[in-house]
Amino acid sequence: MGGHHTHRGHDHASHGAGRNHAHDAGHAHTHVPSVATPGARHALLWALIVTGGMAVVEAVAGIYAGSLALISDAGHMGTDAAALGLALFAHKVAQRPPSARASYGYARAEVLAAFVNALAMLLIVGAIVVEAVRRLAAPQPVEGALVFAIAAAGLAVNLLCAWLLSRAKGSVNARAALLHVVGDLLGSVAAMVAGAVIIATGWMPIDPLLSIVVSLLILRSTWRLLRQTTGVLMEAVPAHLDYDAIGAKLAALPGVRDVHDLHVWNMSAQDVALSAHVGLADGAQWHATLAAAQRLLREEYRITHVTLQPDWPRPEPPRQKVIPVMPHGGEPPARPR
């Protein structure tokens, strides 16, 4: 898909008849990868410092108090610290310009880091659930007052980190880090509740029970992030775009005979790219058709990184899916639900 198109720029077009094609330099623009703002880097750095320090405090206190809820929260925060460090590294890499070895640049490094973060969280959740089940079978004493005090401090730290990361716009890694911090926030609340219940009633099973509840809440958001990043890495059609509708709209443009070898994929978390072969009835109309196609993709779908290959006269039957001109205004038939 995207790897087969090595043009570096926005709104590209190839010209020629049949198999004789040449790049039209008049449509080439320098492509700058979409990366997060400097504010995202500063937010990630401060969140790393605060989260890493609090993770150590919670881990020591959790071991001393015998609280799985507190240890779980410390584990979440420790994972966050590692994830934030990885996010900062990926943020730096993503700002590198395109090169002869990476013609699209390195913006996808942020998506890869977010994918690794999601996998790490799934492992942490699994470990917490296993330990919680073991403790339900054999409850252990917990120092409720210490758990409540440390968890309250952890909650304050998590709220500060969430505020910092929520202000970092345009970074998938800041979003992934925010997901981890929200998980920590829930963990801190659960640890506070566990400490309060133990202080009031002495009922020890509340500690592992709340650990399981928090793990299940985190699992839902983590799974959503994992699906999103996997789609980008696999170059799937972005979820918010309709592949058939885009093809039908292109095929309905004046002078277009058909559209084939159409690909739509994410270059990064924000940027969408498209490539296609466009069959023409008359090659002399290609410039007008190209301008109309670029305008359509930019205005209706916000796709600006476009590579279109014209074909005329009709070449041999393509092996790829062919999208013909659709009657009645070019609308595709309704897809089965």
Contact 278, 293 (CB under 8 A): yes
Looking at 3.40.190.10, 1.20.1290.10, 3.10.20.740, 3.30.70.1350, the CATH number of the domain 2-31+237-324 comes to: 3.30.70.1350
Type of residue at 311: D
- Please report the pLDDT score of residue 13 as a whole number: 52
38-233: CATH topology is: Alpha-lytic protease prodomain-like (1.20.1510)
Q: Tens of pLDDT along the chain (337 residues)? A: 444 443 433 445 544 444 334 333 323 233 333 334 566 677 778 888 888 888 899 889 888 888 888 887 787 777 777 777 776 776 677 677 777 777 777 777 778 877 887 888 888 888 888 988 988 888 888 888 998 999 899 889 888 888 887 776 656 667 777 776 776 787 788 889 999 999 999 999 998 898 888 778 778 778 877 888 888 888 888 888 999 999 999 999 998 999 999 999 988 767 889 999 999 988 888 999 999 999 999 999 999 889 999 987 755 566 667 676 665 555 555 555 5
Residue with tokens 């009645």: 328
For the chain, what's the residue count? 337
The closest alpha carbon to 309, from 259, 242, 273, belongs to 259
Segments making up each domain of the chain, as ranges: 2-31+237-324, 38-233
- Please report the pLDDT score of residue 42 as a whole number: 78
Give me the sign of the Cα torsion angle 127, 132, 137, 140: positive
Buried b (16+ CB within 10 A) or exposed e, 172-211: bbbbbbbbbbbbbbbbbbbbbbbbbbbeeeeebebbbbbb
- Please report the pLDDT score of residue 328 as a whole number: 55
Q: What share of the chain is helix, strand, coil (3-state, %, to 5)?
A: 60, 10, 30
- Please report the pLDDT score of residue 315 as a whole number: 54
